[in-house]
Amino acid sequence: MDPQAENQPHADFLATVDLFSTFTRADIDRIGESAQSRFFAFGDTVCSAGEMADGLFVIKSGSIRVFAEEDGKEVSLGVRKAGEVLAEMVMLRDYRHEVSARASAKAELLFIPRSCVGPIVAANPAARAFVASRVAMSSAGGLIIQLFDLRGKLDKNELDELIRSVGVKQIAAGK
């Protein structure tokens, strides 16, 4: 089978994922060529907090539950579904998983190695800025949920709007 035809479905799927919306089609095709399908059954571990992330995961089908450990107990941070991403920080720099994830249903995830996506992001200022913005929003969302005990009280759209409404002000040291 032609390797380009075999990888085309990955590229076509990735082109529909919001995180890749600022990438050129040529970049998406390159990423699609390096993407590896990984299949998980219910309960299979996708990643564990503290592990070095060698790439990011894009959920192609099924769902995964993201969780953290607090006081020796698992605390659910939500479910990610098709089109959503895990460990996107790896697109910008070396990264250790801050959370753990397990398949909450039969799932196919596309694993995209940092060795492929990192240089593409670095060479594309629009993509780099967009990814950095998304990573910042994701981080802010986790902080806002924890600070204000909003876990399970807002849907994704409400949380996104809340995050956008929070201003961040940079001040000089000692002020």
pLDDT in tens, 147-157: 555 556 666 66
Burial tier of 68 (Cβ tally within 10 Å: 0-12, 13-18, 19+): middle
Mean pLDDT on 50-56? 94
Domain assignment of residue 172, yes or no = no
Residue 173 located in a structural domain? no
99: domain range? 3-165
* Residue-level pLDDT at 170: 45
Residue 170 located in a structural domain:
no
pTM, 2 dp: 0.76
- Kindly report the CATH number assigned to the domain that includes residue 161: 2.60.120.10
Neighbours of 134 (CB within 10 A): 17
Q: Give the pLDDT mean for 79-85.
A: 92
Q: What's the number of domains the chain is made of?
A: 1
Q: What is the pLDDT of residue 42?
A: 96
Domain for residue 70, yes or no?
A: yes
